[in-house]
């Protein structure tokens, strides 16, 4: 091996192992080592089909060199040979979304079979829509799974589509994951749920997959496996169903005998999963992934053999290239006099001119993530954080690009530095880490000083237990650091840290929420934001308050002799005196007549303006020397102090389901004139220059420089933000950063008992075989899945994908009338047209299209029997849609109607499902029992709660349905309302109705219905429902995933990672729910036949329980008492 200068530099930085791995990676393809990360295999005869780097390849079952079958920027996945081996069906992204295609095994043009728009793009944990699973036994149809008839991402079904075209037909299961048809095609083995792509190994919650067999004609079903872990990937060969299961901790192959019911384990892997097995039924063999390679298991001999395959890929996704980083800006800072701005973008630090000059890439670090630049007040250096050493450390680099970056911190294993802030003397940098530890590091310039060696000192200032929110600011001379720290009540309080004495002093009380301290430039005042005066709003649906626009701006006078920042004003006449008479007693401006003068900052100080007093702070009585800045209360969340100005940022209130009408806006408040001026609106962030005269704001991807007093803005050009991207280096950095984030942010420091370092070493060698960014997501997902935890997600990243189509949909389903030779409307989703979300196009006023009507043309294009209707709708474009329709198959009676289509039918499908459920409860309960469904614990869920709860508050009982609830964070709001008790009643003279106090109380009985897909905050809702004693729970055990996540910074290429950071425990201090779920009090399974015949046993049991409760305890409110008699 040749030791290049690049390797030598890496060794000097202490990162030899990481650097060598990325440098040597491109050469692995030339060593003859078999290619790994071969995905989704299938086999037929002597051929294996598989996906690598997003394309489908063919290879011999003996191994050797593969040949490419498909090539496209989109992904081609899930190749399945037809029974005769002549065709391959697969899922492809040729036109932007996933659809089902077939292609000759010998090669040729793929032919599209499905056209209804796919859901997505989906996060990797949800897999792909239109996933191909196989063929019908006679080879005439392709079997696939789709979300096309579901409203929830877990609500999928299996379909068959004829290879000659036409509409797919759903298999009769109401919901299904993966499956396979019996040899005679009359039965199907399937899992009712799908979680094949979840990043969670050894899962034992309610969503664990079991296998069922359904008779397609009779609809009779039987459960064939029942294990606490997952049984998946069924393959039906003869009288045996083969499947994979992790019941022993690792996915292995098993066989189920349909005659005897016996289950036999076939493989015994204990480290790497047997993934995505697929069968050659004619030759009784199964191919699968293991450790990124392929193996073939022979059912006759019971043995497996590896298939070493070399993929001669052109490695387009791994080719180094120069790319723009302008859309990957992660941080920015201004030079002291705002001549230049520093940006971090796609892992490099840049110096960008405001107007003239070159853009300089200061770090050139393809294999490291350099971020969070901070320009020193003396203008010489830029501080930033970087993981180039293998850990996140603080570095500095010369602003002109001269010399190599210098590392300030060392050995910071597990410490992630954020919010770098230079001291005014450019010798110290304050920071906060992910544990809320606030510190200061020595940043003195050691260049030219041979005696300055060794680790730099870090001063530990304080700990803030809150995960977000800490802010801090240096005093003008750098003697003090003003800090916002959290209290046990989660409020913030202002503290002062004196650097010389290293003492921390509380300034404000824990009784109020005080935050965002900033020093005035002259050192007389400390401004901050506080929530301590309130004038709340009253809700519309219940007598309750919401504290909004309640933040004020305050100023603390730092010294006892400091004047009030906003004293009473009086307009006085200036009298000119003769020179010999001396000056007038009082001047109109700038003198208060008492030997003090007000400078341009609106600050008062002694006439001699002793500079030594700039950082003197009188701590005694400081909290009482407070004044409110004369600006109305609002939603403020940022402050900045400039010469004679106070900058503040105002935003809108938080809403669920919509954005605030108030755009984020920065204002400049003139301290002398006491007037505010808007500087910019619709901003995403801002920074102040070191001289406090300029402001850099981000506005929807662009950056503008403003004067703090207003005036014309200058827009910066980011065209020069380019990086020399080496994908192999970048992918290695992403892999290592994801591993470190889990190490340092995971809620359980013991990593659930797993050796996290060993898992890194197990998976990291596969980096050399990553051929596509999606492969990297898969690799990282497999690693984090080992932790056996919920919400461990990896997604996104930079890879080419076609634009997804925008379909024009009608809220309807079609069927072909074979006798008439025309398509007709089979079903129209009714909708609620008064609400845009639930608008159903064909039911709107004046359209006049009914179920059973024939459709002859769409946008003037004939709809013939051999044309898929959704193909024409897919190509219809935006805007109004013209349909040619008629009530009979006679074209002569047709008419044209204009329809306003919708882009998605998910909401209409959801509404149809909930209305069906509501009717079932209404009929079974005789009108006495209310029903509401909560689809998630976020915007949709709280919207449905408000919409349906208050109108049913006087029902005698209510079913609260949280089946398929996708989680969120609003469950405490709903539980709090359900727990309310009627404490008083109000009766009026001229009204028969009664009011409760508190208002909006539901006085009747409750039952909660859950299922396997009740997840996350849905789990927590069910747990709290039981804990609060609100009523029984009916259904199936819930998902069992409650370790919460926060939004953290994106990865270097825009990808994302969610680390489970917050676990849930009961009040007694025991972990709850995670990994198991919430058990129902009464378990009820909804069988396919019941659902297909219009029944819902889970709802029926809920109603039965409520009727029993009502018979025992009617729970009716009492009538008006007898009139009181108060005569003596």
Phi, psi of 783 (to 5 degrees): -70, -50
Identify the pLDDT of residue 467: 63
What is the band of 807 on the pLDDT scale with cuts at 50, 70, 90?
confident
Residue range(s) defining the domain that contains residue 615: 464-567+595-633
For 1028-1053, how does the pLDDT look when each residue is reduced to its tens digit (9 = 90+)? 999 999 999 999 999 999 888 999 99
Please check the confidence at residue 938 and state whether its pLDDT lies above 70. yes
Q: Given a cut of 50, is residue 28 above it in pLDDT?
A: no
Residue 458 lies in a domain: no
pLDDT in tens, 350-378: 999 999 999 999 999 989 999 999 999 99
The first and second tokens of residue 301, run together, are: 């001999």
Last residue of a domain, one of 902, 923, 954: 902
Distances (CA, A) of 539 to 145, 285, 939: 45, 65, 17
Give the domain CATH number at 879.
Answer: 2.30.42.10
Tell whether 457 is covered by a domain: no
Check whether residue 931 and residue 879 sit in a common domain. Answer: no
The answer on 38 and 14 residing in a single domain is no
Cα–Cα distance, 511 to 517 (Å, whole number): 17
Is 215 domain-assigned?
yes
Work out the pLDDT band at 24, boundaries 50, 70, 90.
Answer: very low
Q: Does residue 845 lie within any of the structural domains? A: yes
Indicate if 107 and 2 belong to the same structural domain: no
DSSP type of residue 580: G
Does 328 reside within a domain?
no
Closest to 373 in 3D by CA, of 340, 341, 405, 346: 341
CATH number for position 1090: 3.90.226.10
Are 230 and 300 found together in one domain?
Answer: yes
For residue 479, the model assigns a pLDDT of: 96
Determine the average pLDDT of the residues in 925-941: 97
Is residue 452's pLDDT more than 80?
no
Confidence of residue 613 (pLDDT cuts 50, 70, 90): low
How, if at all, do strands 179-181 and 187-190 pair?
A: antiparallel
CA distances from 604 to 597, 607, 798 (A): 6, 9, 55
- Rounded-to-integer distance, Cα 401 and Cα 520, Å: 33
DSSP 1116: P
| Domain end call among 614, 633, 652 | 633
Q: Do 962 and 1022 fall into the same domain? A: yes
Asked whether residue 957 falls in the same domain as residue 872, the answer is: no
Q: What are phi and psi of 791, to 5 degrees?
A: 60, 25
What pLDDT, on a 0 to 100 scale, did the predictor assign at position 451?
A: 64
Shared domain for 19 and 74, answered yes or no, is no
11-25, 209-223, 586-600: range with lowest mean pLDDT: 11-25
The more confidently predicted of residues 29 and 586 is: 29
Whether 938 and 862 map to the same domain: the answer is: no
Q: What is the pLDDT of residue 593?
A: 38
Residues 273-317 have pLDDT tens digits of 999 999 999 999 999 999 999 999 999 999 999 999 999 998 888
The pTM of the full predicted model, rounded to 2 decimals, is 0.92
Give pLDDT, residue 412: 87
Q: 37 and 166: one domain?
A: yes
**Token pair of 1055 as six digits:** 């990808």
Question: How many domains does the chain divide into?
Answer: 5
- Domain-located, residue 232: yes
Question: Which domain-ending residue is among 292, 313, 334?
Answer: 313
Residues 865 and 916 placed together within one structural domain of the fold? no
Report the CATH number at residue 291. Answer: 2.120.10.60
Q: Name 525's bridge partners.
A: 557
Higher pLDDT, 164 or 465: 164
pLDDT in tens, 644-684: 999 999 999 888 888 888 999 999 999 999 999 999 999 99
Evaluate whether residue 880 is within a structural domain.
yes
Helix axes 756-763, 773-785, angle to 10 degrees: 150
The predicted pLDDT at position 366 comes to 86
Q: What is the mean pLDDT of the chain?
A: 92
Residue 1066 lies in a domain: no
For residue range 709-725, what is the model confidence (pLDDT) as tens digits? 998 999 999 999 999 99
Per the DSSP assignment, residues forming a β-bridge with 214 are: 188, 221
What was the pLDDT predicted at 578? 60
Average of per-residue pLDDT across 211-226: 97
Share of the chain above pLDDT 90, in %: 83
CA-to-CA distance for 273 and 268, rounded, in angstroms?
10
Residue 31 binned pLDDT confidence (cut-offs 50, 70, 90): low
Do residues 780 and 732 make contact, with C-beta atoms less than 8 angstroms apart?
no
User: Residue 253 has which token pair?
Assistant: 């192959």
Torsion of CA 526, 529, 532, 533, to 10 degrees: 110
Judge if 876 and 982 occupy the same domain: no
Is residue 316 within 8 Å of 799, Cβ to Cβ? no
pLDDT tens column, 474-493: 999 999 999 999 999 999 99
- Are 159 and 266 in a shared domain? yes
Q: Is 625 left (phi over 0), alpha (psi -120 to 50) or beta?
A: beta
């Amino acid at each position: 091996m040749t030791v290049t200068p690049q390797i030598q530099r890496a060794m000097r930085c202490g990162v030899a192992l990481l650097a060598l791995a990325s440098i040597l990676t491109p050469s692995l393809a030339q060593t003859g080592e078999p290619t790994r990360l071969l995905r989704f295999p299938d086999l037929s005869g002597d051929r294996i089909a598989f996906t690598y780097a997003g394309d489908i390849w063919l290879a011999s079952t003996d191994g050797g060199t593969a040949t490419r079958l498909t090539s496209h920027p989109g992904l081609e996945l899930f190749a399945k040979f037809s029974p005769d081996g002549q065709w391959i069906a697969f899922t492809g992204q040729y036109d932007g979304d996933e659809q089902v295609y077939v292609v000759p095994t010998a090669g040729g043009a793929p032919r599209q079979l499905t056209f209804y728009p796919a859901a997505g793009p989906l996060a990797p944990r949800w897999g792909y829509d239109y996933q191909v699973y196989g063929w019908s036994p006679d080879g005439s149809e392709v079997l696939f799974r789709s979300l096309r008839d579901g409203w929830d991402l877990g609500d999928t079904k299996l379909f068959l589509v004829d290879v000659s075209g036409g509409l797919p037909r759903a298999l009769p299961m109401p919901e299904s994951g993966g499956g396979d048809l019996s040899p005679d095609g009359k039965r199907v083995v399937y899992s009712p749920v799908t979680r094949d792509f979840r990043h969670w190994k050894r899962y034992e919650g309610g969503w664990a997959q079991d296998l069922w067999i359904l008779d397609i004609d009779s609809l009779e079903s039987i459960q064939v496996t029942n294990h606490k872990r997952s049984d998946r990937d069924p393959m039906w060969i003869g009288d045996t169903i083969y499947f994979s299961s992790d019941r022993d901790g690792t996915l292995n192959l098993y066989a189920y005998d349909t005659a005897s019911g016996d289950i036999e384990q076939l493989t015994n892997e204990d480290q790497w999963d047997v993934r995505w097995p697929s069968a050659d039924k004619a030759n009784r063999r199964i191919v699968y992934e293991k450790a990124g390679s392929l193996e073939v298991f022979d059912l006759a001999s019971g043995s497996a053999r590896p298939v070493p395959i070399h993929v001669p890929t052109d490695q387009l996704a791994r080719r180094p290239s120069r790319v723009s980083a302008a859309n990957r800006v992660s941080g920015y800072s201004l030079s002291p006099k705002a001549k230049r701005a520093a940006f971090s973008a796609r892992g490099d630090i840049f110096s960008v001119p405001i107007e003239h000059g070159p853009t300089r890439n200061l770090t050139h670090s393809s294999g490291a993530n350099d971020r969070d630049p901070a320009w020193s007040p003396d203008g010489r250096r830029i501080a930033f954080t970087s993981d180039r050493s293998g850990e996140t450390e603080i570095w500095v680099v010369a602003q002109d690009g001269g010399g190599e970056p210098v590392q300030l911190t060392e050995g910071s294993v597990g410490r992630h530095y954020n919010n770098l802030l230079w001291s005014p003397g450019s010798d110290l940098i304050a920071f906060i880490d992910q544990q809320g530890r606030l510190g200061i590091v020595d940043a003195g310039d050691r260049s030219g000083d041979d005696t300055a060696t060794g680790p730099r000192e870090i001063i530990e200032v304080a700990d803030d237990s809150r995960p977000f929110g800490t802010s801090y600011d240096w005093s003008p001379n750098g003697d003090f650091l003003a800090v916002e720290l959290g209290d046990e009540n989660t409020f913030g309080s202002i503290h002062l840290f004196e650097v010389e004495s290293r003492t921390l002093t509380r300034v404000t009380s824990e009784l109020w929420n005080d935050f965002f301290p900033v020093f005035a430039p002259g050192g007389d005042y400390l401004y901050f934001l506080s929530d301590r005066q309130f004038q709340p709003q009253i809700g519309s649906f219940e007598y309750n308050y919401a504290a909004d626009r309640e933040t004020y701006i305050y100023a603390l006078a730092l010294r006892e002799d400091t004047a009030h920042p906003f004293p009473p004003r009086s307009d006085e006449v200036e009298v000119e005196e003769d020179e010999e008479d001396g000056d007038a007693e009082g001047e109109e401006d700038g003198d208060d007549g008492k030997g003090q003068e007000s400078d341009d900052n609106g600050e008062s100080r002694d006439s001699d303006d002793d500079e030594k007093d700039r950082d003197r702070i009188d701590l005694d009585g400081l909290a009482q020397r407070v004044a409110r800045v004369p600006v109305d209360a609002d939603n403020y969340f940022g402050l900045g102090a400039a010469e004679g100005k106070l900058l503040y940022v105002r935003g809108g209130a938080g809403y669920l389901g919509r954005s605030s009408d108030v755009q984020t806006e920065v204002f400049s408040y003139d301290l002398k004139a006491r007037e505010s001026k808007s500087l910019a609106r619709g901003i995403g962030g801002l920074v102040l220059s070191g001289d406090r005269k300029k402001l850099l704001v981000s506005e929807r991807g662009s950056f503008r420089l403003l004067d703090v007093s207003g005036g014309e803005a200058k827009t910066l050009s980011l065209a020069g933000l380019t990086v020399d991207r080496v994908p192999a280096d970048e992918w290695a950095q992403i892999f290592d950063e994801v591993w470190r984030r889990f190490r340092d942010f995971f809620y359980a420091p013991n990593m659930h008992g797993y050796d996290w370092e060993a898992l890194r070493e197990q998976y990291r060698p596969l980096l050399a075989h990553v051929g596509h960014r999606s492969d990297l997501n898969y690799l990282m997902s497999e690693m984090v899945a080992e932790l056996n935890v919920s919400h461990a997600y990896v997604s996104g990243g930079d890879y080419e994908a076609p634009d997804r189509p925008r379909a024009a949909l009608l809220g309807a389903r079609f069927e072909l009338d074979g006798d008439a030779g025309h398509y007709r409307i089979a079903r129209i989703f009714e909708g609620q047209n008064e609400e845009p979300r639930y608008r159903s196009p064909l039911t709107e006023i004046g359209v006049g299209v009914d179920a059973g009507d024939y459709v002859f043309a769409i946008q003037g294009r004939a709809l013939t029997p051999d044309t898929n209707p959704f193909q024409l709708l897919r190509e219809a474009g935006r805007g109004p849609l013209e349909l040619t329709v008629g009530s009979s198959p006679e074209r002569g009676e047709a008419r044209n109607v204009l329809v306003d289509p919708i882009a998605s039918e998910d909401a209409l499908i959801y509404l149809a499902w909930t209305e069906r459920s509501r009717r079932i409860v209404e009929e079974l309960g005789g009108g006495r029992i209310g029903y509401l469904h909560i689809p998630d614990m976020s915007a949709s869920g709280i919207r449905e709660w408000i919409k349906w709860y208050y109108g049913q508050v006087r029902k005698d009982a209510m079913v609260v349905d949280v089946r398929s609830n996708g989680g969120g964070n609003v469950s405490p709001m709903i539980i709090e309302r359900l727990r309310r008790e009627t404490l008083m009643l109000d009766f009026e003279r001229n009204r028969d109705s009664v009011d409760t106090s508190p208002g909006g109380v539901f006085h009747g009985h409750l039952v909660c219905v859950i299922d396997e897909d009740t997840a996350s905050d849905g789990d927590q809702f069910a747990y709290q429902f039981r804990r609060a004693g609100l009523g029984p729970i009916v259904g199936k055990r819930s998902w069992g995933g409650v370790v919460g996540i926060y939004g953290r910074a994106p990865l270097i290429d825009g990808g994302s990672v969610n680390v489970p950071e917050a676990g849930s425990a009961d009040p007694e201090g025991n972990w709850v729910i995670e990994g198991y779920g919430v058990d129902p009090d009464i378990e009820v399974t909804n069988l396919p036949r019941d659902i297909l015949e219009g029944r819902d046993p889970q709802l029926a049991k809920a109603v039965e329980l409520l009727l029993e409760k009502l018979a025992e305890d009617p729970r009716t409110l009492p009538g008006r008492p007898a009139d009181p008699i108060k005569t003596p």
